[in-house]
Structure 1
Amino acid sequence: MTNLAISDLLFVLSLPLRIYYFSTATWPFGQILCMVPGTLFSVNIYSSSLFITLISVDRFLAVVYPLRSRAIRTPKFAAISCGSVWVFILGLSIPVALNHSTSYDKCQNITRCFESFSPNSWYFGFIILCLITGLGILIPFVIIASSTLVVIWKIRNEAHCSMPDNKKKITRMFIANLLMYAFCFIPFHAAFILYGLYKLKVIAYNFLDIQTITMCFASANSCLDPIIYYFVLRAFKKRKDDNLELRTLRSSV
């Protein structure tokens, strides 16, 4: 959760620069700062995706294999996993940063940012985009969806059924978490791929407006993460407390 919060915070800190550019259509901050918003946006999306995946896997192990998973569900293993994600994300951010540069618009006499991609850049960038979408979004989504469904099935089919209301709350929160991931990340990448196909002259329709709208969906992830996971963790903690209370009552009997 801490790593997810750091990822969201980095993105939020970059928003004023992006808001200024889209509201004024000019970039007065120079080349270095032009790299910051786009890079942190990518860092936020893919680090959030991978950290949410790790949380889902941890939740899956805690519910389905509570005893057998104790050896790997340790602070040390969690730190190694999170560190590996950050190393991967930082490596990914280097080419992203290098592809975000300023360009001078002679017709309007203004400097632009995020808009200096040549046809060759679009070609290679499109290949990278498809690979990243598969590795950073689609595969994590499959993992999150499958682990969430198994956890829900496990909770709903537990032998003791003394906490039906809490089970329903946990189930709703898990489903909300899955839908949030799909809503925030999948439309943006679908629209971005379609826009890339347009820039490569494969299709005729310009999906830029749709891509801009879905970018707002992706950005909303930073606002929704804390809310969703607060209620998920609170419901999950209550379930553990109820289970502990039930075991205590059984042992006393």
Structure 2
Amino acid sequence: MPHNNTDCTLTHFRYPLFTSTYSIVLLFGFPLNSVSLWILLCRNGLKKSVPVIYMANLALSDLLFTLSLPFRIIYFATGRWKLGNALCMIPGTLFAVNIYSSSLFITLISVDRMLAVVYPIRSRSFRTAPVACALSVTVWLFIAGLAVPTAINHPENEDKDCNVTRCFEKYTEEEWKKGFIILCITTFFGILVPFVIILGCTVAVVRQLRGYSMTSSCNTELSKSKIVNLFLSNLLIYAICFIPFHIAFILFGLSRFNILPQIHRDFYFNLQTVTMCMASTNSCLDPLIYYFSSKRIQGGNERQVWTDETTTGTAIILHKLRLYR
């Protein structure tokens, strides 16, 4: 929720910055996620592959966000809103929907990959398509519950000082308080907790892969690299898109409510503007996950032999270990 502005011109850098950023994200994000979703649904299907189920939901979330970007582009290019209250609430809501649904689906992907690598045999009974579908539905129900108060708290507003209708800014003090409370709750459950889970999964996978070395061709070493890169791409998305925006927003909110010194409020507002643009690039970075998850560790039903480097060369057979079921 941006800072309330009394300047009736479009001189603040956020207007051209948002316009150009959203245009670039729309230009790349829409085709990338459209193609990704088509490949995931039409070529891979959802009946057997657990990762495909999660990634298809992730692509759908990104696609919905990119479809809302033209409304944001129109507003920040003109500085006035003429499309009605309903169309003002939808883009603001879809931004939050995309951030937190992406966070949760990335977490599910990381947990699934960790189980496939660290506990390949024991996890097979609950790494199934029905379980993945049930978890995906649970995520969307949680997001739907978040979307309702978010939408209500993002109406269009009359800027009486400039005699124009605003959207995405010029909120009342009551709307600001409600928005800040919602943000703090979702930051904890939708960003902090998932990040800790992903970090734990990354550490577990790296330790597992360090403890074993594949005794087959160099292709398997490439597969190990793809596994690690998948987890690193997840952490990269958090580092660029999710964490900076929430830190900046909370700092600005604390300054706005006089908990932090007001002298830095403009700095926090400008920081929030920049990090909000960074957060919107999430829909362009998520295809990295599709790329690093695009190939199986090993095709067919071949076995792979891993040698435990921490013991006296004992051979451990991991039956049918692969990234995709």
Which residue number in structure 1 is paired with residue 235 of structure 2? 178
Q: Is residue 202 of structure 2 the alignment partner of residue 148 of structure 1? A: yes
Amino acid at match of 1:175: L
For the residues of structure 2 that align with 1:184 and 1:242, how far apart are their CA atoms? 37
Which residue number in structure 2 is paired with residue 232 of structure 1? 292
Q: CA RMSD in A?
A: 1.9
TM-score (norm. length: structure 2): 0.71
Shift of 1:243: 8.7
Aligned in 2, Cα 1:67/1:231: closer, same or farther, shift over 3 Å?
same
Which residue number in structure 1 is paired with residue 299 of structure 2? 241
Higher relative contact order (CA 8 A, sep 6+): 2
Which residue number in structure 2 is paired with residue 168 of structure 1? 225
1:72-116 C-alpha deviation (Å, 9 max, x unpaired): 111111110000000000010000000011111222221101224
- Structure 1 unaligned segments of length 5 or more: list them: none
Which residue number in structure 2 is paired with residue 194 of structure 1? 251
Q: Is residue 163 of structure 2 the alignment partner of residue 105 of structure 1? A: no
Which residue number in structure 2 is paired with residue 68 of structure 1? 122
Q: Would you identify which runs of 4 or more consecutive aligned residues in structure 1 move more than 4 Å?
A: none
Shift of 1:22: 1.2
Amino acid at match of 1:244: E
1:115-174 C-alpha deviation (Å, 9 max, x unpaired): 243223323332221111010000000001110121122123225344434423432342
1:50-74 C-alpha deviation (Å, 9 max, x unpaired): 0000111111111111111111111
SS in structure 2 opposite 1:244? coil
Would you tell me which structure has more helix in proportion to its own residues?
1
Q: Is residue 175 of structure 2 the alignment partner of residue 121 of structure 1? A: yes
SS in structure 2 opposite 1:241? coil
For the residues of structure 2 that align with 1:106 and 1:122, how far apart are their CA atoms? 18
For the residues of structure 2 that align with 1:172 and 1:89, how far apart are their CA atoms? 28
Aligned identity (percent) is 53
For the residues of structure 1 that align with 2:226 and 2:131, how far apart are their CA atoms? 29
- Structure 2 unaligned segments of length 5 or more: list them: 1-54, 306-316, 318-325
- Aligned with 1:134 (options 177, 185, 188): 188
Q: Is residue 76 of structure 2 the alignment partner of residue 22 of structure 1? A: yes
For the residues of structure 2 that align with 1:39 and 1:180, how far apart are their CA atoms? 20
Aligned in 2, Cα 1:182/1:27: closer, same or farther, shift over 3 Å?
same
Amino acid at match of 1:187: P
